Amino acid sequence: MLRINVELKTHPYPIYIGANLLTTPDCYPLRAKDKVMIVTNPTVAQFYLSPVTETLQKIGCETEHVLLPDGEKYKTLDSLNLIFTALLKANHGRDSTIVALGGGVIGDIAGYAAASYQRGVRLIQIPTTLLAQVDSSVGGKTAVNHELGKNMIGAFYQPDAVIIDTTTLNTLPKRQINAGLAEVIKYGAILDYAFFEWLEQHMRELVALKEEALQYCIARCCQIKAEVVASDETEKGQRALLNLGHTFGHAIETHLGYGNWLHGEAVAAGMMMAAALSEQLGNLTQTEAVRLEKLLAEANLPTLSPDSMIAEDYLPHMMRDKKVLAGKLRLILLKTLGQAYVASNLDDRLILNAIRRCSQTNENVLSHT
C-alpha cells in the first residue's frame, strides 16, 4: 500500500493506493459507533457496497446507504436532495460521515452533500473509476451540474481520506478506463514531461490494466495533484493549470447533453484544441502536438470535435466557464509538453480556428499543417 499526504495547512489528509483496500479497516478514519452514510449507485453497489459495509461494521460503525441514479445526467440538485432526505430520515447529525463510493459523479455529489449538510460533515472518498482515482477524488472540488453549465453549483470541501483500491478497475468498462487516461495524459502535458515520456512507453500496459504500471501511474498523478492543491487550494493560481482541455471539453458535454460523451473523452478532444491554439500562438511545436495526438489515440480517446458540433457552438458555453474573469475567457495552453500557462485576451478568431482544426471535416489537420 502506498500513502500520499495532501499537505493542506488547515486540513491535511492521506491518499491510500493499493489492491484490496476496501476491506482494510486501517484505511478508514472511523471509530466504533460512528454514524456513516454510504452514497453510491446501483452499478457500483452490486460489486462493492457489501464489502465496504462489512468493513465499516467490523470497525463498529452504524452504516446506512443511499443509491443515486447512475450517470452524469443525474449529477443534479435532485440527486443531492436524495442524500439530504436519507440523512434526515435516519437522524444523522453533524458528527456523521459521508462515504462517496463510486466514480466522479458520485464523488462530486456526495462531496457537495458533505459540504452542505448541517454546514459540513466528514467525508471519505472511495473512487472506483480511473478518472476519479487520478483526479476528481483528490483536491476538494465538489459540485452538481446545471442545464446551462457543468459544475456550476458547488464548493471546495476536502475529504478526511481518499481510499484508492486498484482492484475496483477490474469491473470498470473499457470506455471508462480510456476516459480516465485523458486526465492521466493531462498531468504529463501540463507539469511533468518525464511522466509524459513514461506514458508514451507504457500506455499499452495501462490500457491492459497491468497492476504495477497502474499503481505507479495513479500514485504519480495523485502526487502532482496533491502538490498543486497544497499550494493553491481554491484555484487562485497554479491549480487552474489542471484544467487543460476542460473549457473546450465542458462545452462539448453541455452542448451534447451530459453523459453522451464521457468527461474524459470531452477533455481529450479539448486538449487537442488547446494544443492547436498553442501551436498557432507559436508555443507548442507541430511535432509536440502530434505526439499528444498519438498518445491520446493510443488510449482510444477522441482527438476531434463531435461531428454534430461546429466551432461557433463552443463560445457561448465557454463564456459561462468558471475561469472567465471580468468577462474575459481564460484558457490553459501549452508552452511546450510538460509546461502549461494561463492565457487571456485571446482573439475569438484564433480560438474558433483552433476548434476548426480539430473538427471532423479537417481530420488529421495537425499532422499536415
- Among this protein's residues, is 235 annotated catalytic? yes
**Exposure string over 149-181, b if 16+ CB within 10 A, otherwise e:** bbbbebeebbbbbbbbbbbbbeebeeebbbbbb
CA gap 269, 260 in Å, rounded: 14
Set 35, 75, 122, 141: catalytic member: 141
Tell me, yes or no, if 364 is annotated catalytic. no
- 145 part of the active site: no
List CB contacts of 88: < 8 A, sequence separation 6 or more.
none
Candidates 262, 86, 56; CA nearest to 161 is: 56
Q: How far is residue 150's CA from residue 317's CA, in Å, rounded to a whole number?
A: 10
Catalytic-role residue among 41, 151, 178, 243: 243
Is 294 considered catalytic here?
A: no
Instruction: Cell numbers for 29, please give them.
Output: 478514519
- What sign results for the dihedral spanned by CA atoms 263, 264, 268, 269? negative
Is 11 in the active site? no
Catalytic residue among 35, 92, 186, 263: 263
Quote the strand ranges of the chain, DSSP E.
2-6, 13-18, 35-40, 62-67, 97-102, 122-127, 141-146, 149-156, 161-165, 331-336, 339-343
Could you confirm whether 239 is annotated as catalytic? yes
Which phi and psi (to 5°) does residue 319 adopt? -75, -10
Q: Which of 75, 220, 225, 323 is an active site residue?
A: 225
φ/ψ (deg, to 5) at 188? -65, -40
Catalytic residue check, 250? yes
Q: H/E element holding 331?
A: strand 331-336
| Whole-number Å distance between alpha carbons of 207 and 193 | 20
Q: Which of 220, 250, 291, 322 is catalytic?
A: 250
Among 92, 150, 186, 239, the one annotated catalytic = 239
The grid coordinates of residue 172 equal 470498470
Catalytic residue among 233, 235, 265, 293: 235
Active site residue 260: no
3-state SS, one letter per residue, for 140-207: CEEEEEECCEEEEEEEECCCCEEEEEHHHHHHCCHHHHHHHHHHHHHHHHHHCHHHHHHHHHHHHHHH
65 catalytic? Reply is: no
Residue 197 appears among annotated catalytic residues: no
Catalytic residues: 119, 141, 183, 225, 235, 239, 243, 246, 250, 263
